[in-house]
Amino acid sequence: MLDWILEIFDFMPVEASSWASRVDYINNVITVISVFCTVAITFVMILFAWKYRRKSENQKTAYITHNATLETIWTIIPTIICFVLFYFGYTVYHEMRNPPVGANEVFVKGQTWYWDFQYANGKKSTGELVVPVGEPVKLIMTSADVLHSFFIPAMRVKEDMYNGNYSYLWFTPTSSGTFDIFCTEYCGTQHSGMTAKLKVVSKEAYNDWLNEKKDPSAEPVLPEVTGKAIYTAKCAACHSLDGSKVVGPSFKGIYSGAKHVLQDGTEVVVDDNYIRNSIANPLSQIVAGYPPVMPAFQLSEDELIGVISYMKTLK
C-alpha cells in the first residue's frame, strides 16, 4: 500500500545503477509529502473560502490576529521535515561523491558537440561509452572547449566539466542495456545533438570489446607507456621513482592516497586534478620543503592521461 502511494508520481527512468532505487525512494517521499501538503492546504483554503463566503454585507467575522501556539507548531514541523530530507539527500549524495578504490577508470572528453572516451588499455571510442555490469566505473572528465555536463538519467548522475580541469563522477551499473547520455550544460548550436549512448554489457563482452582490433596495425598504445616516455624525457631529472628527494617530490607511491603538505600548510590529497594542475601551473601548489622552480608544461589531453596513468602504476 505504502509503495503504491509512493509510486503514484514516479515518472523516473529505468533504475540501472546501484543507488537509483534509493534516489527514487527519496524523490518519491519528497513528492508524496509535497503533493499531500499542497492538496491538503489548498483544500483547506478552498473549504474556508467557501464555508465563510460572503452571504450578506453585515456578515460577522472573527477578529483573530495571531495564535502563538499554532504559529510555533507550523514553524517547527516544516523545519524538522526539512532537516530529515536534507539528511537523506546528503547520505546518498555523499556516496555519489566518493568512488571506491579500484573502480574502472574511463577518461571522458567533451567537445562541441560530441563525447570522446578513453579506457585503461588506451582504447578510444566516440559517442559510445561501454562499461561492464556490476562493476564500479569512475569517469574522469574534462572539456576541450566550453562547459559541458555529463548526464546519464538511468544512472541518476550528472557533473559539469570544464577546460583545464578534471571533474569526476562514478556509478555501478546494475543492469545491462543501452541508455541515453545527454549534455546538460548549454554549449551552442548542436547542444541538443550532443548525446551519446551508454552500453552496459557483461564482463566477458566488455573484455572482448576492449581488446577487439578493427585494424591490426592500429594497436592501441597503453597510456602508461606514453606516460613513461614523457616521464623519462621531461620529469625524471627532478622527480625520482625510488623515494629519494631530488629537486621535486618523488613519484614513488604517489597515488597511494597520501597527502602533500603545501608551503602554506594546507594538505591536499594527490588526485588527478592535483597532478593536472601541478603540471600546467606548478607554482600554484609548491610542496613544503621544495623550491618553487618547476616550469609549466603544456601537455595534450592524451599526454596528461598518459602521465597520470603511469603515475598510478608507481607503487
Partner 1 sequence: MSNDTNHHTDKHSGDVNYLNFEKGFMSWWMSIDHKRIGLMYLVSMIFFFAIGGLLALVVRTELMKRGQTIIDNDTYNMAFTLHGVIMIFLFIVPGVPATLGNFLLPLMIGAKDVAFPRLNRLSYWVYVFGSFFAFLAIYFKLDTGWTFYSPYSLRNAPAVMSATMAAFVLGFASILTGVNFLVTIHKMRAPGLTWDRLPLFVWATYATALLQVIATPIIGITLLLLFLENAFGIGVFRPDVGGDPVLFQHLFWFYSHPVVYIMILPAMGIVSEIIPVFSRKPIFGYKAIVWASVGIAAISFLVWGHHMFVSGMSDFVRYLFSFLTFFVAVPTAVKVFNWVATIYKGSVEFTSPMLYAMAFVFLFMIAGTTGIHLATLATDAHYHDTYFVVAHFHYTIQGGAVIGLYAGLHFWFPKIFGRMYNEKFAKIAFCLLFIGFNGTFLPQFVLGMMGMPRRYADYSTFSNVDTFEYLHFISTCFSYINALGYSLVLVNLGYGAVKGVKATANPYNSLGLEWQTPSPPPHDNFETIPVVTDWSYGYGEEYSDHDHNGNKKVVAKPA
Instruction: Scan residues 32-51 and list those touching partner 1 (CB under 8 A).
Output: 33-35, 37-38, 41-42, 44-46, 48-50
For residue 301, the SS3 value is helix
Burial class (CB in 10 A: 0-12, 13-18, 19+), 304: buried
Question: Do the Cβ atoms of 143 and 111 come closer than 8 Å?
Answer: yes
* Interface with partner 1 in residues 242-271 (CB under 8 A): none
Residue partners of 121: CB distance under 8 A and separation at least 6: 210, 211, 220, 222
Beta carbon nearer to partner 1, 78 or 100 = 78
12: contact with partner 1 by CB under 8 A: yes
Tell whether residue 107 is a contact of partner 1 (CB under 8 A).
Answer: no
Task: Provide, rounded to whole angstroms, the least separation between the CB of residue 109 and partner 1.
Answer: 14
Binding to partner 1, residues 156-215 (CB under 8 A): 156-165, 167, 178-180, 182-193, 195
- Measured from the CB atom, the residue of 113 and 209 that comes closer to partner 1 is 113
Please say which residue, 189 or 300, places its beta carbon nearer to partner 1: 189
Q: Is 62 in the site for partner 1 (CB under 8 A)?
A: yes
3-state secondary structure of 207: helix
Interface with partner 1 includes 19 (CB under 8 A)? yes
- Contacts with partner 1 in 132-161 (CB under 8 A)? 145-147, 149, 151, 153, 156-161
Any idea which residue has 567533451 for its cell?
A: 110
* Min separation Cβ 213 and partner 1, Å: 29
Q: With CA atoms as reference, report the closest residue to 296 among 311, 286, 288, 305.
A: 286
Q: Does 301 bind partner 1 (CB under 8 A)?
A: no
The continuous run of DSSP H or E covering 93 comes out as helix 68-96
Cell of 308: 597520470
